[in-house]
Amino acid sequence: MQTCLWQFMAYLQVPLQHSNILWLFHRQMVQQHFNVPVIVDNDANAAALAEHYLGVARHAQDFVYVYAGFGIGGGLFLKGELYRGTHGYAGEIGHTIYQSELFGKPCQCGHRGCWETLANQSAILARVRARLEVGRSSVIPTLMTQQDAPLSLAIVVQAAEQEDAEAIEVLEETGSALGFGIANLISIFDPEMVVVGGPLVSAGKFLLPTIERKVAENATPTIPESAPIRLSAFGADASVIGATALVMDAILLNPTRVEGWSGNRSKELRR
């Protein structure tokens, strides 16, 4: 349904930055159909709340959630609640610029050189393809043939599990790119912890050592103790579990007034 709505908005030539209109439209449709309160928020915010209520950040009041999958999203949980920014779009950490427009890869947001172009699932697969195209020896083509499956993150992780040097190096390169960005987040927010969730957690044991090393090397030295990096236990299900956490959050914030709202209206809800 969401894809159809995006296409409809594109047909109407509604700018993507006005996607809160889509949220409100989407929420209203579901609310009218089922006649129940409906809450709409973005996946990374939902996943961050899931970590706060049910996951590895249960006792943290200040943490940054990094959702790493086909893109990179962020949930900023600061002073005990989600921080949404002036217009409700805080946490778009994947679109912070890491390379100049001359050298950076194009990003889905229309810019070049965004962090997520270096450290997302597509970047992993592109690195693998580049290595295979120049004839590097790897078990990955054999796994693809055996499973009659296209190249995927799951196959890269299987290859790494079999100590395939190319797969391990690609995941280390990606861990390095993730680590640079997370070091920046720690320098900006000085959080209690950083939680990494999303599909890339399936490669967590190969990514995490490099992430931690890059954070130790690059986070500002004035912070006396760097925030620990924790992998989410929810993996790719984080946003779905987060949907439950959104309801819990709405009830706990205002038990007497749970009504349909979008993330952009959270301030109104909390009055």
Residues forming contacts to Zn ion in the complex (CB under 5 A) are 95, 107, 109, 111, 114
Distance CA 9, CA 3 (A): 10
Provide, rounded to whole angstroms, the least separation between the CB of residue 109 and Zn ion.
Answer: 3
Provide, rounded to whole angstroms, the least separation between the CB of residue 16 and Zn ion.
Answer: 12
Which residue, 113 or 204, has its beta carbon nearer to Zn ion? Answer: 113
Backbone region of residue 97 per phi and psi (left: phi > 0; alpha: psi in -120 to 50; beta: other values): beta
Between the alpha carbon of residue 83 and those of residues 63, 86, 154, 264, the distances in Å are 11, 9, 33, 11
User: Which residues in 1-22 are b (16+ Cβ under 10 Å) and which e?
Assistant: eeeeeeeebeeeeeeeeebbeb
Which residue, 184 or 266, has its beta carbon nearer to Zn ion? Answer: 184
Half-sphere exposure of 170 (CA within 13 A, CB side): 31
Nearest alpha-carbon partner for 38 in 48, 53, 28: 28
Provide, rounded to whole angstroms, the least separation between the CB of residue 114 and Zn ion.
Answer: 3
Which residue, 53 or 89, has its beta carbon nearer to Zn ion? Answer: 89
Provide, rounded to whole angstroms, the least separation between the CB of residue 265 and Zn ion.
Answer: 26
Task: Sort 98 into a burial class: Cβ within 10 Å, 0-12 / 13-18 / 19+.
Answer: middle
Provide, rounded to whole angstroms, the least separation between the CB of residue 2 and Zn ion.
Answer: 19
Which residue, 49 or 114, has its beta carbon nearer to Zn ion? Answer: 114
Nearest alpha-carbon partner for 48 in 80, 21, 20, 26: 80
Which residue, 34 or 103, has its beta carbon nearer to Zn ion? Answer: 103
Which residue, 100 or 222, has its beta carbon nearer to Zn ion? Answer: 100
User: Where would I find the beta strands (DSSP E) of 10-84?
Assistant: 39-40, 63-68, 72-78, 81-82
Provide, rounded to whole angstroms, the least separation between the CB of residue 97 and Zn ion.
Answer: 8
**Residue type at 41?**
D
Tell me how many helices (H) and strands (E) the chain has: 11, 7
